[in-house]
Amino acid sequence: MITNPKVLEYLDIISPLNSSVAEEIRAEAKKNYIPIIKRDTENLLKFVLKMQNPGSILEIGCAIGYSAIVMLENSNANIWTVEKMPDRVEEAKRNIKYAGFESRIKILEGDADDILKSLADKHKKFDFIFMDAAKAQYIMWLPIVKELLKEAGMIFSDNCLQEGDLLESSFAIRKRDKTIYKRMREYIYLLLHDETLDSWIFSIGDGVLLSRSRR
């Protein structure tokens, strides 16, 4: 992946901007050190949305609502988004209202395990699933995420390569990260070898894994 700061800064400068509201929210997030989607990853996300033209999106990991707003600006979809941190939920609600997208988004507050199970029990299906939450849980959620995916639907998994740290020797990885990286390597392998999916991995941002249902 490209890590040269000058190249990344150049790409950030020349990339088409979002609405003034989205850019304002992005600037505020960076100012307050709130992690949001990187610009090159965001560009890929917007391109895929334009190509896929989903009618329904499930986002796992709403945070302050920035990525949901970007997806709403670049599709005609309605979004269901999951977030368990109450303070982030309240900030996301404010941002989404500010952006004027309240009618197209439903925030599901609580633990993703419970919410995903509830959605599956209700036989909900989505055209596009954007995963940007606890990385160690990706592999745990995979069976139910596949169940929630519509025919020819797509999964967009962000932060899969952990800025390249995923490839480091286990001796160089902090103890608290070992489980995360082990599970993520397993997640990548499973998706790339799943006969029900076509998957591609991209070394942009922190690593993106795109998967499309063959069903």
CATH number (domain holding residue 132): 3.40.50.150
Q: Is 20 annotated as a binding residue?
A: no
87 is in an annotated binding site: no
Residue 108 lies in a domain: yes
Q: Is residue 169 part of a domain?
A: no
**132 in a domain, yes or no?**
yes
pLDDT tens-digit readout, 147-204: 999 999 999 999 888 654 555 545 445 556 667 878 888 999 999 999 999 999 998 8
Please tell me the distance from the alpha carbon of residue 166 to that of residue 160, in angstroms, as a whole number.
8
Question: In which domain, by residue range, is 134 found?
Answer: 5-159
158: annotated binding-site residue? Answer: yes
37 carries a ligand binding annotation: yes
Residue 146 domain-assigned (yes or no)? yes
Tell whether 131 is covered by a domain: yes
**pTM of the predicted protein model:** 0.90
- In total, how many domains does the chain have? 1
Q: Does 120 count as an annotated binding residue? A: no
Question: Is 111 marked as a binding-site residue?
Answer: yes
Residue 203 marked as a ligand binder: no
Please check whether residue 75 lies inside any domain of the structure: yes
| Tokens matching residue 188 | 């990548």
Q: pLDDT tens across 48-70, in order?
A: 999 999 999 999 999 999 999 99
